Structure 1
Amino acid sequence: MISRTWTRFRGALDYYAAMYAVFVVGILVPVAMITLSLTGLSGAATALLGIVCAAVLFVLFVPSVPVEWRDVMRSKPIVVRVLWSVAILAVVLVLARLTQFILDADNVDSSLSAEDDFLVKKSHLTGYISGALVAEDDPANLYNRHRYESPQADSVLPSVLPQDRDAYLYPPPFLLLPRLLLVFSHDFGTLRALYYSLYVAIVLIGMLGIARWVGGKQGGVLAALTPVVWLSLPTLATLQIGNIHVLILYVGGAGAMVLFHLRRNVFGGAALAFAIIAKVSPAILLVYLLVQRRWRPAVWTAAFGGIYSLATLLIFGREPWRHFLSDGTWQKLASGEFHEFVLVERANQLVNYSPYGLPYKTNIMGWDIGDPTGPARLVTNIYTLLLVILVAVTAVRIHRRLRAGAEGARFRAENLAIWLAVLTLASFRAPFGPWVYIAVGAVWMFAVYAGLMRGSKRNITLLTVAWLVVAVYNENVYFTLVAQTIIYVACFAVAWRASGGTEAEETPGVDASKPEPVGAA
């Protein structure tokens, strides 16, 4: 078996397969070393096992790189290939540096930005873990944000210093995830390292698995641009602060739709249901499924939603549910009342890319409209109506094409572009939709659309400029308005264009591949 594996490796080894392997190995091996260090191994033993793990993973991954992924890069100009290689090496180096900050929160020099207090002190995991413990010890105050800021919190909850403690602002069933993490440890530093490791590994495998499912030239372009997606600031910032957004929405939501496409309805329902109970906004995909009369995926999603809810009731009792439902917490979260304390700060008003935040930015520009709450809710309601219409229309158009026999890599990529677009738009339906992590959906959508559009200089330039504006941030109110407008317009336009079918511009023989299993990557 070893001889056969080595033979396959030597036969498949070329520059492009090796660089893909460097990307995967460079991200997963530090994650494996974090996990090994948590077992109590010495530094020398962890380093030795890390080297062995890197060598084995490199040998195993190279033969699994699809031919289409290599051909896409092989056909590009030398400048593009050099930039692609630089992007891969940059991602590996940045994440290796970030790993040091994850293991030691006092090592701020390894943070993405040592001068940015938000990135250094913010950790959403503090809210997840604290919420699970409050739900067990003091469930009546689960949604009382002052409970997490009180002096008594440190006597009950694990210390999260030097980072700030977050409040829990999620539906009760999401408590199942931090409760599962607490089985391994109650030390926050250990939990932070474990959570980061699982997060990075699942997101990487999920993204490459979805690219492999797309297949053909479109899947090759998406795979080639995956390092660029990881190099974008929204992705890196999300990994550092630990918000569950990328994992739940873009791997859980999009991954669930892929599983439904492969008729793995049970697993797809489990994934989509958990995405919904965590972030709520992925429920927009239920509208998509129901419009297409795909009853089985919808039923399995509802069934797992019931299972998660029942498990929450059994583990944490009735109090979390009572306060979330009967006390109107869910209404306060949806209406923006729960986020008023956040939106009073100018910095938060600027970073908020939600339509709800537009009236606040109007005041910043000097157009005094008084209390922005009323206009903010009106704008959000109009935005929500337009989103639902978009989802319904695109679902109908895709369903008609599917019944007409549409298939292939291009059709799969078009479906993925729609799912990412509507998930991104639905995420901004929340009253507070920070650029920091929600913009990553648009970045990934651009990567998908790059494989669908015609490769003219004009199209490439427009896509690159749009990507750059979305992937960076500037504390200028006009810049933020331009950036969020690009996200809204691009998501609506891509979803509409993809649902009707994009123009084929294929290299003969490249797009003929069949979809491969999602887990094959």
Structure 2
Amino acid sequence: MNHAQPDPPTRSLERHAFVALVACLLAPVLAHGLWRPLVHIFGPSGDAATITVAALAISGVLVVANYFAPARSPLLSFAVGALAALAASLGLSLGAPGLLTLLLVAASLALVIQRIPARLPSALDGLAKRHKLLTALYVLLALPAVASTARLSIFMGDGTQVHHQVIPGIDFLETHSCLTAYVRADTLSRAGAPNLYDTQWWHGSEGLPPLAAGVVNPYHPFALDYYAYPPPFLLGMLPLAAFEGDFAAQRALWFGLNALFLAAALWIVARWIGGPNAHRVLLLAPLFLGSMPVLVTLQVGNFQIAVVMLAVLAMVAFDRDRPALGGALLAFAILAKISPGILGIVLLAQRRWRAAAWTAGFGLLYFALSLLLIGTDPTISFLTYALPRISSGETFAFMDDRDFSILTNMAPFGLPFKLQLMGLDVGDPWVVGRRLGHVYSAVLVILAVIAVRRQGDRRSQALTWMALLVLASLQSPFAPGYTAIGLLWAINLLSVEVQRFRGGVGLVLLWLALTLPTPGTSISVYLAHSLMQASLTMGAAIWLVVRATRSPA
């Protein structure tokens, strides 16, 4: 008597639905990380919107084909995707750049679609039947995430398509790109410019004189941003150097690299955490990737997301007894943006001498490489010119303009400027801001040393790392909203603890309070909203660190 055999776990609807979501999120990211650089090599052909639609179509073909006729190897899946890529390229006249882009997208997605299902936790199987209402809500959140990511990819492929940016209608986001500063600093360093931090090189950026008449902005339509990072950060610009002079290609490649690194980090950390309800972290990862704060940060090209991911992955590597990898990741994060050094203090407080030694060793290696490849002048200039101006706040002189720019500052240093804008007499806000910054830094170090004396499970440790990274980034005199990325990631991890409806509602409200833009245009409303978000960011991060001291060892 023949009995029907049940589908293996990898055939469950939930697994394939999750893979489909991941594929639809990654397809436009992959496509626009490749297309513009290939256009640079082969010449213009096709357009950004068509590339995005074609990439999504290929992801759909691969997902459907793998569900109804699962292939035994990625090569068979790639063959299906390659046929779809060829048909799309010929039918839409995408030329060589489009064809190569879609073939690489098909190859990458074929590998993802083949490998991910078997690696998903068994808790996902049957989840949709057990929680129909939550499944419907998840779908309602996933669809906008895919749509927003696809729209943004068009803007990243074509900077003139401003109506496809994450929040259309905001002029600042239309023209702001942190990557302009990184590329400009890399160009100046390789040209041997004396003191690349000198404001003479940065006219046209916020708070500095405009470009002289007749001087062309090479980053048009984006305005130049000011560079204030340590010189070793420029080692990360090596992949973009081949496309010097083509900012559109550099911007698209940077977007693709950062988004893919984020996706890989979310996957690695979610699988590393383990424990009951850990599948929630994995389920929320795609929604986090496609959320407005993350997409805005990817749009402006700021390195903050990569810094947080590097630092957390480093600590995961240390936990997995891979100190060399952890040291390499953490050392670069520290030398690139300084604030992840708080995790170096964590290692020392926990007496993890081996991990600390590997971090110090790679730090020396990166420092030596920067001296060799970039020269000694940028390092001297950073230590003697840039760092004092950053610490004192002089680099961010625009904070005293009494306009809306100060309202984006989440740092304690900016509090007296906000109070001054409210009409309160705080004396000299620069003096008060520096004092607040010094006290805050001292308290942060003490808090970190106390918190790490007790180590809970993996998730508790990750929550502490993320919270400390957020608090450390707030030491900068000017800390925009993207510094809260680590806290938003921590909210995903907190979902594991939700047992009742009100707990889930509380996390959703916290997320919304941290991420929703200011309602209205009144200065008083902006001030109240800015103070609320800054206080909530700091308060929630401190709470996560303090509660670590109460967790079981």
- TM-score, normalising length from structure 1? 0.86
SS in structure 2 at match of 1:119: helix
Hey, what's the Cα distance between the residues in 2 that align with 1:439 and 1:18? 32
2:372 counterpart letter in structure 1: L
- Corresponding residue number in structure 2 for 1:181: 240
2:461 counterpart letter in structure 1: N
Hey, what's the Cα distance between the residues in 1 that align with 2:354 and 2:104? 45
Is 2:166–2:292's contact at 8 Å kept on the other side of the alignment? no
SS in structure 1 at match of 2:340: helix
Is 1:9–1:63's contact at 8 Å kept on the other side of the alignment? no
Pairwise CA distance, 1:345: 4.9
- Corresponding residue number in structure 2 for 1:483: 533
Is 2:157–2:252's contact at 8 Å kept on the other side of the alignment? yes
Matched ranges for 1:255-274 at <5 A? 255-274=313-332
Q: 1:396 to 1:56 in 2, by over 3 A?
A: closer
Between 1:89-98 and 1:342-351, the stretch displaced more is 342-351
SS in structure 1 at match of 2:454: helix
Between 1:296-305 and 1:131-140, the stretch displaced more is 131-140
Hey, what's the Cα distance between the residues in 1 that align with 2:23 and 2:387? 42
Hey, what's the Cα distance between the residues in 1 that align with 2:280 and 2:136? 16
Which of 135, 146, 151 is matched with 2:189 structurally? 135
Between 1:214-223 and 1:389-398, the stretch displaced more is 214-223
Is 1:353–1:428's contact at 8 Å kept on the other side of the alignment? yes
Pairwise CA distance, 1:25: 0.9
- Corresponding residue number in structure 1 for 2:295: 236
Pairwise CA distance, 1:104: 0.5
Is 2:189–2:374's contact at 8 Å kept on the other side of the alignment? yes
Hey, what's the Cα distance between the residues in 2 that align with 1:322 and 1:159? 27
1:460 equivalenced with 2:504 (yes/no): yes
1:337 equivalenced with 2:394 (yes/no): yes
Matched ranges for 1:52-451 at <5 A? 54=109, 57-70=112-125, 73-74=127-128, 77-149=131-203, 151=211, 159-249=218-308, 251-325=309-383, 327-398=384-455, 411-435=457-481, 437-451=482-496
Pairwise CA distance, 1:264: 0.7
Q: 1:111 to 1:345 in 2, by over 3 A?
A: farther
Hey, what's the Cα distance between the residues in 1 that align with 2:460 and 2:486? 15
2:26 counterpart letter in structure 1: L
Hey, what's the Cα distance between the residues in 2 that align with 1:49 and 1:261? 34
1:172 counterpart letter in structure 2: P
Hey, what's the Cα distance between the residues in 1 that align with 2:25 and 2:402? 36
Hey, what's the Cα distance between the residues in 2 that align with 1:8 and 1:380? 62
Is 2:491–2:511's contact at 8 Å kept on the other side of the alignment? yes
1:349 counterpart letter in structure 2: I
- Corresponding residue number in structure 2 for 1:25: 23
Pairwise CA distance, 1:48: 6.2
Pairwise CA distance, 1:349: 0.9
Hey, what's the Cα distance between the residues in 2 that align with 1:243 and 1:22? 28
Hey, what's the Cα distance between the residues in 2 that align with 1:361 and 1:184? 41
Hey, what's the Cα distance between the residues in 1 that align with 2:6 and 2:173? 44
Hey, what's the Cα distance between the residues in 1 that align with 2:30 and 2:338? 32
Unaligned runs of 5+ in 1: 1-6, 402-410, 504-521
Q: 1:154 to 1:352 in 2, by over 3 A?
A: farther
1:33 counterpart letter in structure 2: A
1:462 counterpart letter in structure 2: G
- Corresponding residue number in structure 1 for 2:61: none
Q: 1:465 to 1:433 in 2, by over 3 A?
A: same
2:287 counterpart letter in structure 1: V
Hey, what's the Cα distance between the residues in 2 that align with 1:8 and 1:382? 62
Between 1:227-236 and 1:489-498, the stretch displaced more is 227-236
Pairwise CA distance, 1:152: 7.6
- TM-score, normalising length from structure 2? 0.81
Is 1:9–1:62's contact at 8 Å kept on the other side of the alignment? no
Unaligned runs of 5+ in 2: 43-95, 205-210, 519-524
Pairwise CA distance, 1:298: 0.8
Hey, what's the Cα distance between the residues in 1 that align with 2:352 and 2:100? 52
Hey, what's the Cα distance between the residues in 2 that align with 1:320 and 1:424? 27
Is 1:221–1:450's contact at 8 Å kept on the other side of the alignment? yes
Pairwise CA distance, 1:394: 1.1
Q: 1:52 to 1:423 in 2, by over 3 A?
A: closer
SS in structure 2 at match of 1:87: helix
Matched ranges for 1:510-521 at <5 A? none
Q: 1:472 to 1:140 in 2, by over 3 A?
A: same
Could you report, residue by residue, the CA deviation over 1:199-219 in whole angstroms, capped at 9, with x for unpaired residues? 111110111110000013343
SS in structure 2 at match of 1:445: helix
Could you report, residue by residue, the CA deviation over 1:399-441 in whole angstroms, capped at 9, with x for unpaired residues? xx6xxxxxxxxx1100000000100111111100111x11222
Is 1:108–1:120's contact at 8 Å kept on the other side of the alignment? yes
Is 1:69–1:217's contact at 8 Å kept on the other side of the alignment? no
1:432 counterpart letter in structure 2: F
Q: 1:75 to 1:431 in 2, by over 3 A?
A: farther
Pairwise CA distance, 1:158: 7.9
Is 2:263–2:289's contact at 8 Å kept on the other side of the alignment? no
Q: 1:64 to 1:369 in 2, by over 3 A?
A: same
Could you report, residue by residue, the CA deviation over 1:67-92 in whole angstroms, capped at 9, with x for unpaired residues? 23557x55863222111122222212
1:447 counterpart letter in structure 2: N
Hey, what's the Cα distance between the residues in 2 that align with 1:42 and 1:179? 22
SS in structure 2 at match of 1:149: coil
Q: 1:8 to 1:414 in 2, by over 3 A?
A: farther
RMSD, aligned α-carbons: 2.6
Higher relative CO (Cα under 8 Å, sequence separation at least 6) belongs to 1
Pairwise CA distance, 1:14: 2.1
- Corresponding residue number in structure 2 for 1:513: none
Percent identity, aligned pairs only?
Answer: 31
SS in structure 1 at match of 2:202: helix
| Largest Rg, 1 or 2 | 2
Matched ranges for 1:489-508 at <5 A? 489-501=539-551
